[in-house]
Amino acid sequence: MAIRNVLIYPDKRLREKARPVERIDDSIRQLLDDLAETMYAEPGVGLAAPQLGVPLRVFVIDLKSPEGGELREFVNPRIVSLEGEISWKEGCLSFPGISEEVTRARRAVLEALDRNGKRFVLEGQDLLAVAMQHEYDHLEGRLLIDRVSFLKKRMIRREMAKFAAERAAAAGAEVR
């Protein structure tokens, strides 16, 4: 297992639509392990492979992060149904320090494969439904910023530009 770097907005790789996993092998199981370890280290409640620069349809969720305990792994997920509506304050590891109110379906049903290639169906409500939809969006190249108003988008872009400048200044200071 390894902790990997999470891509930060506006990295263009976050906009790529992820490809289906053709075969679940040790490299995919390693990716699932790395996603979980990186998610716990950040800490977050979910992480998708595209956020690590890997354009594959894979994500993990653990609502008990950072302690762990309810890790769910999804390979080639597909939304079966969405119902209802809920507003939730969402954050995203690719948008450090940003959290915004987002409206999503209150109930989500996803079908996916587990790390051994076994098909399963998971129904989630409230936070689990929100997390599944959020991570699924990453597989489609959709981001948190796509689900907020024009004004909020401008504010987020400004915040992310400031974050990038601070990170670059810190990296420059470390190099000296």
Give the active site residues. Answer: 135
Residue given tokens 């490809």 in the structure block = 19
CB atoms within 10 A of CB 30: 12
CA dist., res. 48 & res. 15, Å (int): 12
CB 47, CB 135: distance < 8 Å? yes
H helices of the chain, in order, are 26-41, 127-139, 150-175
CA dist., res. 24 & res. 153, Å (int): 37
